[in-house]
Amino acid sequence: MPDFLDLPTDTERPGDRLLLGIRHFDEPFLLTVSLSQGLGSSELWLDRGRAGKARLAEFRRAGDRVLLVVRNKHFLTSGDAAAVRAGRESFALSVVWSGPVLLEEHGAVVVDATGLVVADHDQVAEHLHEHGQGDYTLDERTSLPLVADSRTGPESVRLSALVTFRGPGRGAAVRAVAADPRALTVVQQLNLIRLPASPMPVRRFHPAAGGYGIGYADHAHVGVRDTQVKLQPRFRVGPGAAPIVFQVDPAVPEPFRSAVVEGGNWWREAFTRIGLPDAYRVETGGADFDPYDPEVNGVVWVHRAGRGWSLGQGLTDPRTGEILHARVRLGSQRVEQVRALGEALLAPYGRPDEAERLAAVEELVLARLRQLAAHEIGHALGFMHNFASTRHPRPSVMDYPHARIGVTEDGGLDLSAPYERGLGPWDHVLVAHAYGRFTDGDEEPELAALRREAAEAGLIHVADADASGPGAAHADAVPWVTGGDAPTALATMLRVRDIALHGFSRGVLPPDRQTGELEERATLLHLLHRHEVAAAARLVGGVRYGYGLAGESGAAEEPGIGSGVGTVESGERGAGPDARPGGETIEPGTRPVRADAQHEALTQLADLLRAERLALPDAVLSTLTPPAIRYTRTEQYLDTDAGQVFDPFEAVRAAVTLVTEQLLEPARLTRVAWQHAVDPDRPGVTDVVDALLAATWGRVDKVPPDLPGGAAVQHTADWTLLNHLLTVLDDDALRASVRDPLRAALHHLAAELRVADDERRRAAADLIGRHLTDPGSVRLDPLPRIPPGAPN
């Protein structure tokens, strides 16, 4: 079979330009761009292995010139010739390159494609600008095609170029990684991939099935049905299809490579269950492994400066959703992040049982890599996150897990089972719904039965925007939590945190590391409960709802799973004060969290603002030293206003803000106000503020005298809360239903503080009064910076 495109040898200017022989005109193909030489910054995401968005393109001949035309793949029109023409002519094309015809030989039109490959196809310059790194432009003098690295084959072409961007070099992110931040050089690969000659049958996307929904608008459907076509991305499987094979970068060192292969192969069980035992596997790439080959599904090992995310992506045929190629990027820094957590918890060094503790830390890292590999490959297989799976009988690998930490009978910490090993029942639903085969030819009833069975087993599905970020409201979906009901999980994590902090020592660091890093490890433990705080806060003003279609009934029917699809495992669900029982089906609309569960969570969170919860023990404060010469604090450290040394006041402010940033988030307060208006038994804005004030300015018991710096800790917590309340009040988007009770609560607080026999309290009353009268006359402190806690 001839190659898709030719790469003729340039005898006149070898290496100086790239010639391209084009055989196919007016034939759509996918145009993608990736990086094989990245910048290495977690902040910028311009990594080795980065794959940009795909575009639908084609070459056109216009006299003695060749055009590369890009079409918007989100507008595809079906039907007869007239309908297709109307669709094509209704939306703008983009001519992204043109070049003169040099000659015609062997049935191919030869052009100089140097200007095509030496271009900013990935919009790197714009990306750098948007990330605050300054204005960069492509430097043609130091950019050139890499002819020897370019490849062509029957189904795809890879055109490589060395591309340099010139700029000011003043951005912190580029200065941290670039040899010369004024000249940023990457290797860009332009991939041209043919679409399958025989399109795969489509499977419609369903929002409750856990797959990615890709699609396009088909205006031939106007007046007939919805013009928005949504498809389930999936590989081609079954008779005649090649197996889905992921190759793991041999650059991954052992034993981590074996963990990645093992975790990735967990999905084999799900494919076997639907009758496709040989359809999928993960293996280590050989000596000739090419992570950038568009015909290889690669798991690429990526190094970055700083805490960063891993990523799984699939390149899909926009017509059908068929995944043609997949790439996973695993960040190597995850090894150090997880190891640091394990060492901080177990403080293994210098202990009599050091070897046993270090083995537990190593297994923690390997267990996390197994889960991470399964998770990211799951994305590449076409699956979305499920951040509600910690309420399932067994969590999904498509969740974000936090290590489960047990407490032994003698009060020690146990990391023997930090993560589940293998797939959860939801993962089997994902594979069955996306890849299952059906014997009767009508798959919709069988898929509906599968979804009903999943709902009856309590396998709720909640994805990204509904689970994280300021607008998230679903009570069952918070990333990075350990599972179970939120109040119990928070109480457990607080106990773990207390044990780890009181056992803090130099033993949390390897003996060859500088002691300034003790501060970073202490920060990990001090903020260990951050995700469980978010989960408990989600109950306050929280709601529950599910994904579905308007025509679907909420009543579950007896499921009948079709041939080869398999069954959903069921079991006991997480129990707790507001747990949803197994077998509950998804009804339309949103349902608020019960009033008693909201009040319980609010009380528990407010208690975290008491000095007893905030003060660091002497085991920590007496151990910390500032970073040594030639070392510096990173974003993983708490900020300090104490010069070179650790600032205990900032530690208090950060821990208080963990709670207040959740409970005082304006969207949450809006939900609280409405729920209270409908049902006065549920907490209102006044209840939220009063609970926080009762634990701080209004606490009637005294701070224990043996608490290190106890009075100063409580004083700091009081003022941090007040500053945050006034900051929220300044939000212009705050509704009157939230602003009015918030102002009333602050008026009441000021009245109480004015008569207090304490100058600091009277000063607070004066601050409140001035802010309520003239907000512009008061300078509020910026909210504390909380070191990043994800990915874990």
- 492-541: per-residue pLDDT in tens? 999 999 999 999 999 999 999 999 999 999 999 999 999 999 999 999 99
| Token pair in block for residue 101 | 């015809």
- pLDDT score of 567: 41
Paired tokens of 152? 């062509």
Residues whose CB is less than 8 angstroms from the CB of residue 628 and which lie 6 or more positions away in sequence, other chains included: 514, 515, 516
CATH fold of 235-514+535-576: Collagenase (Catalytic Domain) (3.40.390)
Residue that wins the pLDDT comparison between 633 and 581: 633
In the block, which residue shows the tokens 């009762």? 694
Q: Which is higher by pLDDT, 3 or 745?
A: 745
Q: What is the DSSP letter of 181?
A: T
Q: How far apart are CA 656 and CA 660, in angstroms?
A: 6
**Mean pLDDT of the region 442-466:** 93
Q: Look over the chain and give the mean of its residue pLDDT values, rounded to a whole number.
A: 92
What span, in angstroms and rounded, lies between the C-alpha atoms of 730 and 714? Answer: 25
Structure tokens at 344: 């901080």
Say if CB 645 and CB 626 are below 8 A apart.
yes
In this predicted structure, the answer to whether residue 673 has a pLDDT above a threshold of 80 is yes
Of the candidates 692, 680, 758, the one whose C-alpha atom is nearest the C-alpha of residue 725 is 692
Half-sphere exposure of 541 (CA within 13 A, CB side): 26
Residue 691 near residue 610, CB atoms below 8 Å: no
User: Over the stretch 646-655, which tens digit does the pLDDT of each residue have?
Assistant: 999 999 999 9
pLDDT in tens, 386-400: 999 999 999 999 999
Tell how far CA 162 is from the center of its chain.
Answer: 30
Q: In this predicted structure, what is the pLDDT of residue 577?
A: 46
Q: For residues 315 and 308, give the distance between their C-alpha atoms in angstroms, rounded to a whole number.
A: 22
pLDDT at 131 over 50: yes
Q: Token pair of 57, please? A: 């393109």
Contact, 413 vs 345, CB < 8 A?
A: yes
Contacts of 86 (CB under 8 A, 6+ apart): 77, 219
**Higher model confidence: residue 483 or residue 591?**
591
Task: Give the DSSP H/E element, type plus range, for residue 339.
Answer: helix 333-346
3-state class (DSSP) for residue 786: coil
Q: Report the C-alpha gap between 291 and 248 in whole angstroms.
A: 9
Residue 586, pLDDT score: 54
**Could you tell me how many helices (H) and strands (E) the chain has, helices first?**
22, 22
DSSP letter, residue 443: H
| Token pair 């030819």 in the structure block, residue | 441
Query: CB of 447 within 8 A of CB of 562?
Result: no
Q: What is the pLDDT of residue 547?
A: 93
Q: Which two tokens stand for residue 50?
A: 């980065």
Helix (H, G, I), strand (E, B) or coil at 468: coil
Percent of the chain with pLDDT over 70: 95
Round to the nearest angstrom and report the end-to-end CA distance of the chain: 47
pLDDT value of position 533: 97
For residue 483, the model assigns a pLDDT of: 86
- Between CA 763 and CA 274 the distance in angstroms is 69
For residues 142-162, average pLDDT: 94
Q: Cα 506 to the chain's mean position, in Å?
A: 33
As a whole number of angstroms, the distance between CA 550 and CA 430 comes to 22
Cα–Cα nearest to 52, from 40, 35, 69, 72 = 35
Average pLDDT value for residue range 99-123 = 94
Structural domain spans, the chain: 5-195, 235-514+535-576, 594-792
Can you tell me the distance from the alpha carbon of 254 to that of 333, in angstroms, rounded to the nearest whole number? 15
d(CA 154, CA 113): 19
Q: Band the pLDDT of 709: cuts 50, 70, 90.
A: very high
**Whether the predicted pLDDT of 566 surpasses 60:** no
- Whether the CB-CB separation of 192 and 151 falls below 8 Å is answered with no
> Which of the two residues, 138 and 308, has the higher pLDDT score?
138
CA 80 to chain centre: 42
Collapsing DSSP to helix, strand or coil, 499 comes out as helix
435 pLDDT band (50/70/90 cuts)? very high
Contact 227, 219 (CB under 8 A): yes
What confidence score (pLDDT) does residue 557 get?
Answer: 34
Residue 685 has pLDDT above 50, yes or no: yes
Contact 50, 312 (CB under 8 A): no
Output the pLDDT for position 553: 67
Tell me the C-alpha distance between 717 and 649, whole Å.
Answer: 9
N residues, the chain: 792
Q: What confidence score (pLDDT) does residue 311 get? A: 94
Q: Tell me, what DSSP letter sits at residue 141?
A: G
* C-alpha–C-alpha distance, residues 695 and 705, integer Å: 17
Residue 327 bridge partners (DSSP): 298, 313
Collect all residues with Cβ–Cβ distance below 8 Å to 222 and sequence separation of at least 6.
none
- Collapsing DSSP to helix, strand or coil, 500 comes out as helix
Q: Kindly provide the residue ranges of all beta strands, DSSP E only, lying in 129-232, ordered along the sequence.
A: 137-138, 144-152, 156-166, 183-194, 214-217, 228-231
Strands of 244-248's sheet in order across: 280-284, 244-248, 297-302, 323-331, 311-316
pLDDT tens figures, 571-589: 333 334 454 434 444 567 8
Average pLDDT of 543-560?
Answer: 68
* Mean pLDDT, residues 402-412 taken together: 95
By mean pLDDT, which of 221-230, 614-623, 645-654 is the weakest? Answer: 221-230
Q: What is the pLDDT of residue 22?
A: 95
